[in-house]
Amino acid sequence: MFYRECGNFKDNYASDMAIFPIPLDRYGFIVMLILALIVIPLTATDYWISSIMIPFYCFALSAFGLNILAGYAGQISIGHAAFMAVGAYASLILYGRYGIPLLPSILGGGIVSAAVGTFFGLPALRIKGFYLAISTLASQFIIQWVIVHWRWVSGGVFGTVEAPDMQIFGWALDTPVRKYYLVLCIMILLITFGKNLVRGQLGRNWMAIRDIDYAAEIIGVNLYRDKLIAFAVSTFYAGIAGSLITFCYYGAANIEEFHVMVSFALIGMIIIGGLGTILGSFLGAGFFVLLPIAINQSLGAFMDVVPSDILSNIEAIIFGGLIVLFLIVEPYGMARLWHTIKDKMRLWPFPY
């Protein structure tokens, strides 16, 4: 059957290690890929591509980065938006001021962000839980302060670095569709890499640390190294996401785009979406990026009937209500719903 293995027989290593053991997932993934790669660029309007899909992918990527740290390795970070800012400013400076080609610049943004992230991850070697959360909150404010006050970075009193026109090998990335493809390709590449990372030895180590850290240490997991790697990888993803969203969506790096509320939103994304799942990063990002816009747009229909001040607040009320509702319905996140369905289907019609 397409929604389950035909029995639980795996007769070779390849099928045992498959990313998608169930055909349903496999085909579903292919359909999603076709949708994202072909259907959306062909059919969607510029508005949809440039201001809905691009930020959605970027936030999904950033949420996935945070998910590596919080969902897989169990280390909380409330300063993730600041690392996006580091990546954004770093890649803009590399590309705009030093003329380094676009792709290495974006990679450079990720690497600088990873370096900074590793530094701020150092407290994780000694503290955990809420205490770590507070120390990462400090990273948000320290980075924000440094960017605003270090003139060389922020380019003077206005604190803004504009994104120059993008090109790869002389090929201009000027239309929304081209930017969309840039974001999509980098995202797919990084998510594939990340998925394999969390499936491998490193991912297992992280999960062991997340579940019981001293037990992990006893069975031979190098806590310090693996925690720092988790910080580095996670902030690398944040940096790439930050530089992509600045290049392709914001068009200018300004510290107000990466303030602490964005960090909270990222945490919200992975909690609502599902900690420790890749699907959850996408669902969560969709929930936080797309849903408010959808509510806002659909409320537009009532514009002539309801006073506009009430209308604007209704959006916040509905959105907040949905968050609460969702946490009650499924505390483990939206991805868990899908897992529950899948697990039921695997055993159906003979559940035990």
235 binds another protein (CB under 8 A): no
Q: Which residue has the tokens 């498959």?
A: 18
| One residue of 132, 206, 210, 315 binding another protein per CB under 8 A | 315
332 binds another protein (CB under 8 A): no
Beta-ladder partners of 161:
253
| One residue of 4, 37, 204, 296 binding another protein per CB under 8 A | 296
Task: Check: CB of residue 108 under 8 Å from CB of residue 94.
Answer: yes
Give the amino acid at 92.
L
Smallest distance, another protein to C-beta of residue 348, A? 18
Binding mask 55-84 for another protein (x = CB under 8 A): x-----------------------------
| One residue of 18, 35, 134, 303 binding another protein per CB under 8 A | 303
137 binds another protein (CB under 8 A): no
- Where does this chain touch another protein (CB under 8 A) — which range of 10-18, 63-71, 153-161, 201-209? 153-161
Give the amino acid at 202.
L
Smallest distance, another protein to C-beta of residue 182, A? 17
| One residue of 6, 14, 42, 157 binding another protein per CB under 8 A | 157
- Three-class DSSP labels, the chain: CCCCCCCCCCCCHHHHCCCCCCHHHHHHHHHHHHHHHHHHHHHCCHHHHHHHHHHHHHHHHHHHHHHHHHHHCCCCCCCHHHHHHHHHHHHHHHHHCCCCCHHHHHHHHHHHHHHHHHHHHHHHHCCCCHHHHHHHHHHHHHHHHHHHHCHHHHCCCCCEEECCCCEECCEECCCHHHHHHHHHHHHHHHHHHHHHHHHCHHHHHHHHHHHCHHHHHHCCCCHHHHHHHHHHHHHHHHHHHHHHHHHHHHCEEEHHHHCHHHHHHHHHHHHHHCCCCHHHHHHHHHHHHHHHHHHHHHHHHHCCCCCHHHHHHHHHHHHHHHHHHHHHHCCCCHHHHHHHHHHHHHHCCCCC
142 binds another protein (CB under 8 A): no
134 binds another protein (CB under 8 A): no
Residue whose CB is less far from another protein, 7 or 307: 307
Residues contacting another protein: total by CB under 8 A: 54
Residue whose CB is less far from another protein, 55 or 203: 55
Residue whose CB is less far from another protein, 75 or 144: 144
Establish whether the linkage from the previous residue to 349 is cis, with ω within 30° of 0: yes
Task: Check: CB of residue 126 under 8 Å from CB of residue 227.
Answer: no
- Where does this chain touch another protein (CB under 8 A) — which range of 107-115, 222-230, 310-318, 341-349? 310-318
| One residue of 66, 81, 163, 272 binding another protein per CB under 8 A | 163
| One residue of 37, 294, 323, 345 binding another protein per CB under 8 A | 294
Q: How far apart are CA 115 and CA 14, in angstroms?
A: 36
- Where does this chain touch another protein (CB under 8 A) — which range of 72-80, 81-89, 121-129, 248-256? 248-256
| One residue of 2, 20, 46, 201 binding another protein per CB under 8 A | 46
308 binds another protein (CB under 8 A): yes
Smallest distance, another protein to C-beta of residue 282, A? 16
Residue whose CB is less far from another protein, 154 or 277: 154
The residues binding another protein (CB under 8 A) are 45-47, 50-52, 55, 141, 144-145, 148, 154-160, 162-163, 249-252, 254-257, 259, 261, 291-298, 300-301, 303, 307-309, 312-313, 315-316, 318, 322, 325-326, 328-329
